[in-house]
Amino acid sequence: MVRHKNRIDRLRASSRRRDQNGGSGRLAEMSARLDTKRIASMARRPVFNSSLEVVAYEIVLGAGPIRSIASSDAGGGSKLLVNSVLEADVAALSDAKPVHLTVLPSAIEAGLPPELIPEGTILVICSNAEPTPATFAAVEEVRNRGFRIVLDDLTANPRLHPLLRLAYGVKVNIGSSVGPSPSRQMSALKTAGIELIADGVKSYDDLRCAKTLGFTQFQGSFLSKPDGLGDEQASAAQLGSLELVTLLQNPDADISDIAAVIRRDVNLSYRILKVVNSARYSLSRPLESIEEAVVLVGTRQIVSWVGMMGMSGVNNKPDELTRTAMVRARVCETLAGRLGRSDARRFYLVGLFSVIEALLDIPAEQALRRLPLAPEIIDAITAGRGVMGEVMRAVIAHEGGDWARAQVSGLEDWAMSDAFQTAMVEVDRTWAKIAP
């Protein structure tokens, strides 16, 4: 027992030194850069394939289409400059996936900077573009260099049709009806090997319809919606995982409490020890207990891991839903801190469980009432009541690019995007460590 305690004490000291030295250097570096120039409205939208795996991310900007795409900073890193308002680290936001950037033809004609590489950038030609002979020549030049070109909403701008021979994909908003003529056109595009990207997919029914029409990539808010809403009861195992996540948000919990909660789930305990015992932590010998893992990694990180592992194991849903929940949770918690709230962990739970209806495919109130949650948290999630509800609604609006509704009383305009960008990087890094 004494030997075990001494080992935990040594790990605790090591963990403190690592925190003092700024363990997540890349994240700290990015945060410092964000602090030097506040960020305008920005959101990241996933692009899914037919298996609902994320194949790319679209950067959505409140400032409109990109006029000036990128430049080098003093350290040689790649930055995204949009209308002289947005400045962000492209690599950090992309999670090593290609980024869709909606551009005006003038940005391509001006010449792409060398920091934008073909493998990581897909240029979406804005649907209201006014193409000229110079436009066609510039698009052909970047396409020959390996950049993929996507045409946005050809029906709205037939003048873009000459660019079809250069296109990797065509984006269609399926929110408007797709009649027989467009359907025949899509069939011809598919035959020509052009990727068909369905935008505005608002439900799983929309998704199935888009697949039937021949679309191969998908964007929209369907991920945060249930796939049919029944009255079935969630299983004890499903709710058990979510209950663990809830219990670990107790601000008074110490290492022993956290370890005791984790030990209730054998699979969770195994996964945590497996990650910590991996080569990433360069341990001199394997850990002997959950307590040691908590001390080594830190309570905050362990709680984040449990949240991801617990939610990702609840139902057969795309991994991106878990990531969405974790990003919302961190943004809600951060904004609560900026508001001077002492109950930021409650805001975290509101963001985390804002996806519970989509996660379990049962009414949110029915699921939430079976978890150890305060009535105020349930009301915030189900009815948007109170400050927690206001923050949650604003976070979801920002996520969907609804900038007008993405406002929280008492916060400056930049606070939301600042919190989102930091949260996305944190969650991406955590997921890379614990994903199955």
- Residues of the chain with pLDDT > 70, as a percent, come to 78
Q: Which is more confident, 111 or 284?
A: 111
Domain count, the chain: 2
Question: Does the structure show a pLDDT above 50 at 76?
Answer: no
Query: What single DSSP character describes residue 254?
Result: -
User: Contact at 8 Å (CB) between 200 and 178?
Assistant: no
Statement to judge: residues 220 and 172 lie in one domain: yes
Q: What's residue 46's pLDDT? A: 96
> What is the per-residue DSSP string for 53-100?
-EEEEEEEETT-SBSS-EEE-TTS-EEEEETTTEEEEHHHHHTTS-EE
Mean pLDDT throughout 158-178? 83
User: 213 and 236, same structural domain?
Assistant: no
Q: Which of 190, 224, 258 is the last residue of a domain?
A: 224
Same domain for 219 and 237, yes or no, is: no
Same domain, 356 and 287: yes
Identify whether residues 245 and 290 lie together within a single domain. yes
Q: Residue 35 pLDDT > 90, yes or no?
A: no
Averaged pLDDT for residues 279-288? 72
33, part of any domain:
no
Domain membership of residue 340 (yes or no) is: yes
47 with 105, same domain: the answer is yes
**337 C-beta neighbours (distance < 10 Å), count:** 13
| Domain CATH number, residue 293 | 1.10.3210
Q: Is residue 311 part of a domain?
A: yes
Q: Given this model, what pLDDT does residue 14 score?
A: 57
Residue 415 included in any domain: yes
Do 208 and 237 belong together in one domain?
no
Which CATH number characterizes residue 170's domain? Answer: 3.20.20.450
Looking at residue 90, its amino acid is V
Query: Could you tell me if 68 and 214 lie in one domain?
Result: yes
Question: Where a domain ends, among 158, 190, 224?
Answer: 224
176 and 244 together in one domain: no
**Domain termination site, one of 224, 252, 285:** 224
Which DSSP string corresponds to 131-158?
Answer: --HHHHHHHHHHHHTT-EEEEE-GGG-G
Q: Is 199 a domain residue?
A: yes
Residue 222 is classified by DSSP as: G
Q: To 10 degrees, the CA torsion angle through 360, 361, 367, 373? A: 60
Specify the pLDDT at position 32.
44
Identify the pLDDT of residue 22.
45
pLDDT at position 67, please? 57
The per-residue pLDDT for 237 is: 67
Whether 35 maps to a domain, the answer reads: no
Q: How many CA atoms are closer than 13 Å to the CA of 253, on its beta-carbon side? A: 24
Residues 342 and 199 in one domain: no
pLDDT, one tens digit per residue, over 340-361 is: 999 999 999 999 999 999 999 9
- Domain span at residue 219 reads 41-224
- pTM attached to this predicted model: 0.83
What integer best gives the mean pLDDT of the chain?
81
